[in-house]
Structure 1
Amino acid sequence: MTRKSAFAPFAFPDTRVLILGSLPGEASLKAARYYAHPQNQFWRLVGGMIGREELASLDYEDRLSALITAGIGVWDVLASAVRPGSLDAAIREAEHAPLTELIATLPQLRAVAFNGATAARIGRKLLADAPVELVDLPSSSPAYAAMPLAEKRRRWLELREFLS
């Protein structure tokens, strides 16, 4: 089985909120883009959070520009893992991302948000001593259907306080 690797971190010195997933899924890896699966709600949730409801319909580069303007960075808690398919439950032989090293390069960082339970479980251990707020979010993944989109949106909107 082949090892899958995360993308490079999308973060910059003005990042105020860093959103961490677990590891890119098949659609994202194939497209070489964060949150590329058309049913993933990430871009809709972030768009609502930053007041850019149209974010999901923009070209990928324009989405990234909107994240920069809003002070949002994106990465994953895992650098690589063996995983058939895209489900977090299938992750094996995980290698953690160097999160503390990245955070040390982000002087404006106010919060790290974990996109889903797997990201939170791993990330909270790695960042237990981080000098920022740690926020657990419901997963934007289409595989997490237990929570209605309206409730996911409400929870994601709570990140706005860290962006101002």
Structure 2
Amino acid sequence: MPAQRKAAFPPSVDANTRLLILGSLPGDASIRQGEYYAHRGNAFWSLIGDVLDEDLRSAPYAVRLKRLKARHVGLWDVIESAERPGSLDSSIRGAELRDLGLFVGRLPALRAVAFNGRTAAVHGRQQLGDRSGIALVDLPSSSGAYASLSREAKRHIWMTLRDYLA
């Protein structure tokens, strides 16, 4: 049976976005719910909540997105669509990438682009190269499937994002 083609969500950004966090492609739980980082095993909302010193995990999804925008944080993915059985990045085939260069050029307040995981970093860095005035930050994946680091070790690295929001 061929893998199903899966598509990403629209960006959650505005003209005041200072920090753009890019994932690879939403997982199956996220696609089913129509929400970024919906799988309960994904630590994204806890990690970004720690960065912002807010409890985002327990808030309704619409409130989470509103709070991120209020704090100048945007979300998107580096892959527009791809074939992928399941949710693992290692299973992605035939990825159609977004035009990140054009996109970040439309965000006048952008100071940093953070890549949530290796797949996002590989594809994102290929597209963005060396952007003057925009820091590129590789983060350990918030996915529960990435267990090479403890949550506390991930948290320590994610906390560096505060530097771009001050």
TM range (shorter): over 0.9
Q: How far, CA to CA, are the matches of 1:44 and 1:140 in structure 2? A: 9
Q: How far, CA to CA, are the matches of 1:20 and 1:9 in structure 2? A: 10
Q: Is residue 120 from structure 1 mapped to residue 142 from structure 2 by the alignment? A: no
Cα deviation, residue 105, structure 1: 1.0
Query: Which deviates further from its counterpart, 10-19 or 123-132?
Result: 123-132
Cα deviation, residue 129, structure 1: 3.4
CA contact (8 A) 1:100 1:130 kept: no
Cα deviation, residue 102, structure 1: 1.2
Q: How far, CA to CA, are the matches of 1:42 and 1:98 in structure 2? A: 24
> 1:150 corresponds to which residue?
152
RMSD across aligned C-alpha pairs, in angstroms?
0.7
Secondary structure in structure 2 of the residue aligned to 1:55: coil
Secondary structure in structure 2 of the residue aligned to 1:118: helix
Letter in 1 for 2:76: W
Cα deviation, residue 100, structure 1: 1.1
> 1:108 corresponds to which residue?
109
Q: CA offsets, 1:43-99, max 9 Å, x none?
A: 0000000010x2100000110111011100000010110000000000000010111
> 2:60 corresponds to which residue?
59
**TM-score, length-normalised on structure 2?**
0.96
Match of 2:45 among 43, 46, 59: 43
Secondary structure in structure 2 of the residue aligned to 1:134: strand
Q: How far, CA to CA, are the matches of 1:42 and 1:2 in structure 2? A: 25
**TM-score, length-normalised on structure 1?**
0.97
Cα deviation, residue 126, structure 1: 0.6
Secondary structure in structure 1 of the residue aligned to 2:141: coil
| Structure 2: tracts of 5 or more residues without a match | none
CA contact (8 A) 1:18 1:73 kept: yes
Q: Is residue 134 from structure 1 mapped to residue 136 from structure 2 by the alignment? A: yes
Identity in percent = 51
Extract structure 1 runs of 4+ deviating beyond 3 A: none
> 1:2 corresponds to which residue?
4
Cα deviation, residue 24, structure 1: 0.3
